[in-house]
């Protein structure tokens, strides 16, 4: 009885193992490749439970949803042999599971091959462009040829790139320092040009101001001379009118003014006593008035 029980148990286990080896399930995100003695015989894309021959057949699963691939910044040479750092991000999917499994087997190998193809295509495209166009240009225009070339090379592998984008564009440290120095020199040159232009404008403004100052001073001097002439004429007219009314008194008044300006503590005059200058010292006012 004991041996019979063990036989039943062994038989049940054998049936369970046979059943587990005879059935397989496919999820919505997978495609199953049925292999018979290592050779692919069919592809199952619809999700569900399926049967296969145990031992003779096994199943490999291929992901049919979108997969992503990204790179670290790598150096590429432009047309002027200038290095530029570029990193990429791509999304891809399997289009032919049989070919994909036969050529690549799994996603790891696929990512490695996709990276090689993208680097080669990008290196060829960047080599046609200048450093300025790579950094400042529209990225889609640079990536479209790379995407087309990469898909052309990946098609025989059963892989298709759905999207390709640039994550980062930069410059190596030594090139970046050189660019900064060149930019600094350009800005310094622009600043010097602005300073020179400002100095020229300032000199022009000063010249115009000096010219205007000279004109204003000349005009003021002319007006001054005109007013001075008018004053002298008016004074002469007043003097003449005063002299006409009383010549003797006017002569006496002018002599007193001359005495007041000429005779001081510091002045020394050497004149003859008979000089006309002292006529009012020699005579009285009444005879002088006559």
Q: DSSP state, 60?
A: E
Residues 31, 64: contact at Cβ < 8 Å? yes
Q: What is the pLDDT of residue 172?
A: 74
Q: Considering its fold, how many domains does the chain have in total?
A: 3
Whole-angstrom distance, CA of residue 25 vs CA of residue 59: 10
| End-of-domain residue from the set 10, 41, 61 | 61
Cβ neighbours of residue 58 under 8 Å, at least 6 residues apart? 34, 35, 52
Among 139, 171, 203, the domain boundary falls at 171
How does the average pLDDT of the chain come out, rounded? 77
DSSP string, 220-233: HHHHHHHHHHHHHH
pLDDT bin (cut points 50, 70, 90) of residue 160 is very high
Residue 84 near residue 78 (C-beta atoms within 8 A): yes
The answer to whether residue 226 sits within a structural domain is: no
The per-residue pLDDT for range 51-96, each reduced to its tens digit, is 777 777 677 787 888 888 888 888 888 887 888 888 889 898 888 8
- The mean pLDDT value for 222-231 works out to 83
Report if residue 176 sits inside a domain.
no
Whether 279 is in a domain gets the answer yes
Confidence label for 266 from pLDDT (cuts 50, 70 and 90): low
Query: Which CATH number belongs to the domain containing residue 102 in this structure?
Result: 3.30.479.30
Q: What residue numbers bound the domain in which 99 lies? A: 67-171
- CA geometry: angle 271, 274, 277, nearest 5 deg: 60
**In this structure, are 36 and 88 located in the same domain?**
no
Q: Same domain for 91 and 131? A: yes
**Residue 105: both structure tokens together:** 């087997």
17 and 113 share a domain? no
CA atoms of 97 and 101, how far apart (whole Å): 6
Sign of CA dihedral 243, 245, 248, 252: negative
- Number of helical (H) and strand (E) elements in the chain, helices listed first: 9, 9
Bridge partner list, 83: 77
Q: Which residue has the tokens 């003449």?
A: 240
Which class for 278: exposed (0-12), middle (13-18), buried (19 or more C-beta within 10 A)?
middle
Query: In this structure, is residue 242 part of a structural domain?
Result: no
Report field, pTM of the whole predicted structure over 0.75: no
The structure tokens listed for 121 are 């295509």
Do 47 and 122 belong together in one domain?
no
3-state secondary structure of 43: strand
What pLDDT does residue 207 have? 85
Question: At which of 117, 139, 171 does a domain end?
Answer: 171
């Amino acid at each position: 009885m004991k041996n019979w029980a063990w036989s039943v148990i062994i038989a049940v286990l054998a049936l369970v193992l046979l059943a587990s080896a005879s059935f397989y399930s496919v999820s919505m995100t997978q495609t199953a490749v049925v292999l018979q003695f290592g050779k692919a015989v069919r592809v199952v894309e619809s999700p569900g439970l399926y049967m296969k021959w145990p031992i003779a057949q096994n199943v490999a699963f291929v992901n049919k949803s979108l997969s992503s691939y990204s790179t670290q910044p790598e150096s590429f040479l432009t047309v002027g042999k200038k290095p530029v750092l570029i990193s990429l991000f791509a999304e891809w999917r399997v289009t032919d599971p049989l070919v994909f499994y036969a050529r690549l087997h799994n996603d790891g190998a696929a990512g490695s091959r996709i990276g090689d193809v993208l680097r080669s295509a990008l290196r060829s495209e960047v080599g046609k462009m200048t450093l300025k166009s790579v950094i400042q240009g529209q990225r889609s225009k640079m990536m479209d040829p790379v995407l087309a070339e990469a898909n052309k090379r990946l098609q025989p592998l059963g892989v298709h790139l759905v999207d390709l984008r640039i994550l980062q564009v930069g410059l190596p440290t030594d090139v970046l320092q050189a660019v900064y120095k060149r930019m600094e020199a350009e800005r310094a040159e622009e600043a010097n040009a602005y300073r020179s232009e400002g100095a020229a404008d300032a000199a022009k403004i000063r010249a115009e101001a000096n010219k205007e100052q000279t004109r204003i001073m000349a005009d003021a001097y002319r007006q001054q001379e005109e007013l001075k002439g008018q004053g002298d004429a008016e004074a002469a007219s007043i003097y003449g009118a005063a002299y006409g009314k009383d010549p003797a008194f006017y002569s006496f008044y002018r002599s007193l003014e001359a005495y007041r300006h000429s005779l001081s503590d510091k002045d020394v005059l050497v004149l003859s006593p008979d000089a006309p200058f002292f006529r009012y010292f020699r005579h009285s006012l009444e005879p002088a008035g006559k």
